[in-house]
Amino acid sequence: MPLLPASARDLDRGLVAGFGVLAVMIALSIATPAQLIGIFAGAGIVASLLTTVRRTAVVAVAALLAAFVSAAWQDNAGTFDWFARILMCAVLGLVAVQNAALRARREDRLERMTVIAETAQRAVLRSMPTAIGSVGLAARYVSANAEALVGGDLYEVAETPYGVRVIVGDVRGKGLEAVQTATTVLGAFRAAAFTEADPGALAMRIDETMSRILGDEEFVTAIVGQFEGDRVTLANCGHHPPVLVQSGSATTVDTGEPTVPLGMGSVPTLSEHPWPRGARMLFYTDGLVEARDDRGEFFSLDDYAAELGDGTVEEALDGLVAHLLAYAGHALHDDMALVLAECEGR
């Protein structure tokens, strides 16, 4: 999600904080006979952390005026302390304005980079078809809040001679580098999905590609699935196992001991599972199960997974996303990719 300019509420908060500090400082200077040099200048510094350059300047000028009129209760007009206070407020006011300007430039730069990264990410993740053969499909990508950079969550599906194949993964890290890595993973998947005999071989082919370009501490967790007839075959490369929903209940699919992520020499063990008509399978990334509420408790997928069997696959995913956003207070700290597949039979 792009980093947006500060809202009107944020701007008002900066002004309130700045003038609030100034009021406290004025009261303190009236209540004590001590000559607190530069005490009013703190108001501009506080405002510079929260609001715009112009509004910071307003607070800084108000602090400077307060320094001038402080002689009325300090009875020190024309003294060294009075001039020192005015000078200190003027200098620190300029510092506050400059600080606000630097912060604004950093935020603008971050906004531009985030927009570029998000645009690239959206281009990488192609639209999910509503169905391929007997497999109904729906996908959702939910960006994190404005404070977080875009991540490298990915998904793709392909109809191959071996069945419908899907990959869902999560690149370690964020920003443009993560998006570029996700692009490489998807490119390797699209190239090998039509030639490799099973999901394990497909995962190893992707791993070979990633091993040549990733650094020592970089990797991609992923799960590769293959839907063929009434069976689904999975290859888990250090990723969360999917959830199977059928007959009104939901269970986590046992994909066996997951191997290391892609890019680290992954050699996944295949697991095969029944895929009856009407069953649904949810693939997801970290953003779903690592979302927290205001008490710091993780979102419990188990509490809502059974609802994924209700309505269409599109409606089911929308319901899950709504539950998550309500739980996390609409403030996710990690991007999330979801793919829900349904066996529609033939």
Which residue, 115, 147, 178, sits at the end of a domain? 115
The DSSP code for 277 is: T
For residue 8, is pLDDT > 70? no
pLDDT (mean) for 122-148: 80
- Distance from C-alpha of 34 to C-alpha of 12, rounded to nearest angstrom: 32
In a domain, 200, yes or no: yes
Chain position carrying tokens 């890019």: 263
Residue 1 within a domain: no
Mean pLDDT estimate for the chain: 85
Helix (H, G, I), strand (E, B) or coil at 264: coil
* Overall pTM surpassing 0.75 (yes/no): no
Confidence band, pLDDT 50/70/90 cuts, at residue 210: very high
Q: Is the pLDDT of residue 4 over 60?
A: no
Q: Are residues 67 and 30 located together in one domain of the fold?
A: yes
Q: For a pLDDT cut of 70, what percent of the chain falls above it?
A: 88
Q: Alpha-carbon distance 69 to 76, whole Å?
A: 10
Residues 132 and 98 both lie in one domain: no
Would you place residue 1 in the very low, low, confident or very high pLDDT band (cuts 50, 70, 90)?
very low
Q: Looking at this protein, which amino acid is placed at residue 204?
A: M
Is pLDDT of 185 > 70? yes
Domain count, the chain: 2
15 and 57 in contact (C-beta within 8 Å)?
no
Residue 12: the pLDDT is 60
3 falls within a domain? no
Spatial neighbors of 318 by CB under 8 A, at least 6 apart, are 140
Residue 331: closest CA among 291, 284, 289: 291
In what side-by-side order are the strands of the sheet with 280-284? 131-132, 135-142, 336-343, 280-284, 243-246, 249-252
Domain that holds residue 52: 8-115
Lowest mean per-residue pLDDT among 64-78, 186-200, 202-216, 256-270: 64-78
